[in-house]
Amino acid sequence: MNPTISMIMFSSLATGTIITMTSYHWLLAWIGLEINTLSIIPIISTTHHPRSTEAATKYFLTQAAASALILFSSMVNAWETGTWDITQLSSMPSHVLLTAALAMKLGLVPMHFWLPEVLQGSTLMTALIITTWQKLAPMTLIYLTINSLSTTILLLMGLTST
Q: What is the pLDDT of residue 48?
A: 85
pTM of the full predicted structure?
Answer: 0.92
Average pLDDT score, the chain:
93
pLDDT reported for residue 162: 87
pLDDT at position 91 over 90 = no
For residue range 10-65, list pLDDT tens digits in order. Answer: 999 999 999 999 999 999 999 999 999 999 999 999 988 899 999 999 999 999 99
Q: In whole angstroms, how large is the CA radius of gyration of the chain?
A: 16
Checking if the pLDDT of 90 tops 90, the result is no
CA atoms within 13 A on the CB side of 115: 18
Look at residue 69 and tell me whether its pLDDT is greater than 90.
yes
Dihedral-angle region of residue 122 (phi above 0 means left; psi in -120 to 50 means alpha; beta otherwise): beta
- The rounded distance, in Å, linking the Cα atoms of 72 and 84 is 12
Q: Are 147 and 88 within 8 A, CB to CB?
A: no
In percent, the amount of the chain with pLDDT more than 70 equals: 100
